Amino acid sequence: MKKFGLLLAGFIAAMVLMSNLGPLVGLGVSLLVLYFVVKQFLKTHSTPGKIGWGIAGFIILMATASNVPAILGIAAAYVLYLVYKNWDKKEDAIKEENDPFINFEKQWTELKNN
């Protein structure tokens, strides 16, 4: 049953990720361009240059803000990572800790050693 839940969560996350690939690419490109615009803004010493780079930075910032749905894609990628990480976890280790006979054997060996 746990595998079915992981499979279902992975399928939904994959669909969300695939539907947000466009905004993810747009967000990445606009953040890269915004980084270079900010670097040029900080390098420029003239006032008209600062105004020009500031206007360009504002336009690129608005383009970056329009790709906010890409955050859903990032969250879906993280869910896919969690599904991949938890796919092969064994449930037997959890059951062994709750088994009273194994706990009794551990306590018996501790009493014998003391």
- Give the tokens for residue 82: 């969690």
Q: Give tens-digit pLDDT for 34-82.
A: 999 999 999 999 999 999 999 999 999 998 888 888 888 888 889 888 8
Say what the pLDDT of residue 105 is. Answer: 75
35 to 7, 29, 42, 52, 84: CA distances (angstroms): 38, 10, 11, 15, 33
Q: Give tens-digit pLDDT for 3-21.
A: 888 888 888 888 988 988 8
Say what the pLDDT of residue 58 is. Answer: 94
When computed from its CA atoms, the radius of gyration of the chain, rounded to whole angstroms, is 26
Find out whether 37 and 64 touch, Cβ atoms under 8 Å. Answer: no
Higher pLDDT, 28 or 104: 28
57 to 43, 51, 69, 74, 112: CA distances (angstroms): 14, 10, 21, 24, 73
pTM attached to this predicted model: 0.63
Domain residue ranges of the chain, discontinuous segments joined by +: 1-20+70-114, 23-68
